[in-house]
Structure 1
């Protein structure tokens, strides 16, 4: 199992009753450096959502050296706990704070009003302020491609999908995956189980086992832990990871993963703080900017399928293919998008329905 070495020189208790502490990894940096903080919803671990953000944090340290000092708090619950953690970071002299979960949106906005000189970046949200920017990657592009792969690899034409919360971000991923799947097998179905948590290995494993019992021979997820992949490995079926390459948790099962790449985006925003040019923006980039990627493809995938996926990836990056291109209909058979039309960003951000082919109801 790959190990990530982190130099954690200072651990500051923030006294908020959480099983987390503020971890500073450049305590000996110069007094005039830029302090960059990260708030994480789950453990840094060795795979998943938070892992990708922490890999980018470590990249910043390598790139900027003693020009910056980074710190993080992991396992921070969304809501009041998040507001207290973000407040503590702002009070302790951080110049730039990345809050990396959807449920941190309102706490970030509230704290930003109290600390107008501190700059904030919120992942996956939509509320901005003069000192609050927002960002995400177009992970739905990779979701579409993983759907194509699942369509070629499934024999039962039944795919299991484990969702965290029924918000537009997650629903958009389910629909993009389904559209990719049905580009290969129009009659294939996607069964969704909601676990109402971003990170809960026990619930994720139970959901995966349930979907396998319902006939799914490929499992994918919008949750943080590798538990679904481990369930697929144990059951002898395929799985598609999320957030990061999860192949080491299921060497036979793992086909690929839809992956986020925050490194260069984070470096750009930190450089802007160093230069005094940072401004609040909304960033939503995908394969064209290398913010969205696919993990290496399994050797189990036939060569012609790999070539097809590589071609589709290039088309998406070049703007020649958009996963949400009509005709698209919802579960009820109502037309959402006419033939040849491309869904705009406003509609993508507000997605609150399943496309045809997804089984179950949105909670």
Structure 2
């Protein structure tokens, strides 16, 4: 038994010696490289790069160049957000990236008048760049121009949907600046339609056309002969809608243009009263177009003598061509009462 134990021990010691001999024959472990790239190029430096034995902890320190800041590490490091970190070397080379960001400077934006639009592109911007700005007009305004250290830039397209006026810094940004976009109200033009309500022969209107929104224009209603003006009214508006007509009963008045608007003028035929008398009383009668009659429309009148009388003539505004005839005409020229007299004399 003791002999067997000694033999096993001897074999184990031989195996250890053989392994040690093999290790000694392989030589020292191969060192691995630690390589760090800089992004963007020239933005900083990194110390600690080199060749290290496997298992070695390596301290890396990132130092930004002027006007840059350290951002983060890309790769397997112990603290990706710290400029001082460690990396452990394994059986292969290590490749890392140190990322830096450019110092940013504030660009202030201003619009005139206030709330007339906005500026796109202002804010915190990287130093030594020449950013482009775009002007967005608010509803009812349009772009008028730029103020500040800028030069006009080619109009830019926003997602291909619309084209905006652009401007670019005249020089690379090295200090805070203010950029101003000026806007002006858009002159909105509205269509004013005028028409004649009812009988177009009653008259005509003036003042229709395209006019600036917010303006006051003069509108006129011109009655035709035999017609009188009966007032202005909005087309398609309710009774409580603001018409914008200064004096709806005047033939000439002003209209406040608040949008596209249609206005009608109403004309009505003028009326006259035609009356007839007989002289002497009871000597006859007058028949025909007596009573309320349209102006400028001839009224036909006939004188009929009573028994024992004959017609002698007409007195009053009758036609001169038929003044001595039993049948005559009277044409009212204006809205008033007209009186004619039929004269008779005893028959011989």
From the two aligned structures, give the one with the greater helix fraction: 1
Give me the TM-score of the superposition, normalised by structure 2: 0.19
| Greater RCO (Cα-Cα under 8 Å, separation 6 or more) | 1
- Structure with higher strand content: 2
Larger Rg: 2
